[in-house]
Structure 1
Amino acid sequence: MDVGGLADREYWWRRRGNSRTHSIKLDVVQRFLAGETKADLATDLGLSSVQLLEKWVREYRRDGEDALRPPKPKGRRPRSDSAVLSGEVWELERLRRENDRLRAEVDYLGKLRALENWGP
């Protein structure tokens, strides 16, 4: 399908705005490396300048195809049910240790009181 002189991919590119997929970036870089000019590619794709294309080519040459993939999300991943469960198990174990420590403290204080009252 040809829409307004643009092939399907370029039409999709313009409609999607800033959403540029890995496959499209890779295709554009490969077209550039095959000999198409930056200006022609930028015009076909509706880019306002060739700087974005230059950046993709530079990243591709430096790090290969993976450089064109979107970055991984930052921060922690959301907890899964098993992670929540393991957190609950950890909390239960912590409470058991605290309970054991408090029992030992009560026993110690009871024996200390008995020694204080035992005097001659």
Structure 2
Amino acid sequence: MGKYSEEFKWKVVQDYLTGTLGFTLITRKYGISDKSIVRRWVRVYKEFGRNGLTVKKKKQFYSVQFKLDVLHFMKQTGASYLDTAIRFKMNNPSVITKWNSTFRKEGIKGLQEKVKGRPSMSKKPKSISTKQEKEMSREEQLERENELLRLEVTYLKKLKAFRENPDAFLEKHKQRLPLNSKKKDSD
């Protein structure tokens, strides 16, 4: 659960958009720790509407390839976490921050979804012989290794394409530039 409710965020954004106060004064008025929080709420609201201010109740799952694409885009364009999140229609840039940190520490394996919790206890006695069980686990290991190799090849192909012609790649993945805001920050 987030620190601020959706209604509170909505109230702050509306106050900023309809009033004459800048980010700093709005931050002081509502007792928010940092003006970048308000700036992020306003930007997300402008991009996604009121839905951008909601905290998702259901956990969103992203594929490893999607995570790699997001991180690759951010690295190649130099976009901020917030710009990258908006570009990929995400309202929470901290998720990308976590992916980046995990990728730097653990590589591609760190970006895969991990099974959580203890495995369930089986009430049925084991009917499969240990030899068949080992063969299945070996087969699963090979399938998993195969999938990782495919992901790596795809990533390397995209990297090669970018290195050969960065202008074409950036044109294809061009991010929308935000319009200059008429309001000035009052520090």
TM-score, length of structure 1 as denominator length: 0.46
Larger radius of gyration: 1
Q: TM-score, normalised by structure 2?
A: 0.31
